[in-house]
Amino acid sequence: MEFKEFKETVLREFPDLGEEQLAKFEAMDALYAEWNAKINVISRKDIGGLYSHHVLHSLCIASYLRRECPQFHQALLDGAQVLDLGTGGGFPGIPLAIMYPASQFTLCDSVNKKIIVASAVSEALGLSNAKTVNARAESLPQKFNFVVSRAVASLEDFYPWVKGRYTDAIFYLKGGDIAEEIAGMMGRNRMQKGAVHTWPVTRWLDDEYYDGKFVIHID
């Protein structure tokens, strides 16, 4: 997917995006191509799918919020504290930081070379609302309004890392057999029925690549 097609896709869903935001999205292509040649954070076979497989996937969280949770969408537009745990090269945190410039994003990963890329891209894009941290979640001192992440571990493993570190919700991008993972997480942590919601991303992105992929919302 070239930037022109990405722009058309994203503007249909988010018509209020400004030119400065679109310019940042456009700049991501060259920045990730340059950095990925030095430090491989995106499969080299998939770097051509930056917009279709990584940026749009990250923005599925924003699509879910706009359609299903307008109160949280507005909270992020107004300004919130967000942790992106296991950010890798900056996903979903960097696209979401562009989408929600009033919110503050902490991009956290325990692998330093990945944080080098996320830091460099974030700085080059001029994202004053994004900071990077080479650490584990349990070492972070503050609480966040929201936690976002993209398939860094099973839900049963992931949830204990952030339990007690957020006040509002987790939005987790995950595919595969999620029913078993959700049941395991809820049972292990004695979560109440209705605490977890799933949203197929194909409700926005009608592409077979996204079949079986979800936004998982944990209250």
Band of pLDDT at residue 140, cut at 50, 70 and 90: confident
Instruction: Give the pLDDT confidence of 192-212 residue by residue, as tens digits.
Output: 888 999 999 999 999 899 999
Handedness of CA 108, 117, 120, 1 (dihedral sign): negative
Residue 134 φ then ψ, to 5°: -90, 95
Beta bridge partners of 133: 108
> Across residues 182-196, what is the average pLDDT?
91
The predicted model scores a pTM of 0.95
CB within 8 Å of 167: residues ≥ 6 apart = 143, 144, 145
Sequence-ordered alpha helix ranges (H) in the chain: 3-13, 19-38, 56-68, 70-78, 93-99, 112-124, 155-162, 178-188
Q: Is the pLDDT of residue 110 over 70?
A: yes
DSSP 64-111: HHHHH-HHHHHHHHH--EEEEET-TTTTTHHHHHHH-TTSEEEEEES-
Instruction: Give the pLDDT confidence of 47-68 residue by residue, as tens digits.
Output: 678 999 999 999 999 999 999 9
